[in-house]
Structure formats: structure tokens, C-alpha cells
Amino acid sequence: MRIGEAAAAAGCTPRALRLYEQRGLLPPPGRTASGQRDYRPAEVARLRVIRELLASGFTIEDLRSCA
């Protein structure tokens, strides 16, 4: 699943998804032969959990310390 599809499935933007990767909340995704990000269902599920925790009041720093 490409970044736009993964972001839509998790209810966020591709920009937010990249931010979560940069901040260490998500592991680097696999890449296609052309170098595009390729997200698996488990990574999308983790992204949904991250979104729920952020909506509950946790900060990115809180989540990073638990990762």
C-alpha cells in the first residue's frame, strides 16, 4: 500500500505519516522497486493506534519513549 492509501486508511495525511516515521513512531517502511514507500497492513494498524493515542492526549514524545 502506498503512502496516500496508508494515510487514508489510518485517517491522516501523507505528511503526518512521514512525520511519525521521522520521529521514530513508525519503522521505515519497505520500498517498491521504484523507491516508493510500501506499507503493510500491520504498519497501517500501528498507525491507527498512534492516531488514537495522539487523539487521547498523548504527545509524540510520550509515544516515542514507549516505542
Instruction: Tell me the domains of the chain and their CATH numbers.
Output: 3-66 (1.10.1660.10)
Mean pLDDT (whole number) for 1-26: 95
The dihedral formed by the CA atoms of 37, 49, 45 and 3, expressed in degrees to the nearest 10? -20
Helix 14-22 to helix 3-10 angle (10° resolution) is 90
Read off the pLDDT of residues 27-65 as tens digits, 9 standing for 90 and up. 999 999 999 999 999 999 999 999 999 999 999 999 998
* pTM of the predicted protein model: 0.86
Mean pLDDT (whole number) for 3-14: 96
How large is the greatest C-alpha to C-alpha distance in the chain, in angstroms? Answer: 38
Mean pLDDT (whole number) for 8-34: 95
Contact 18, 42 (CB under 8 A): no
Beta strands 37-38; 30-31: pairing state: antiparallel
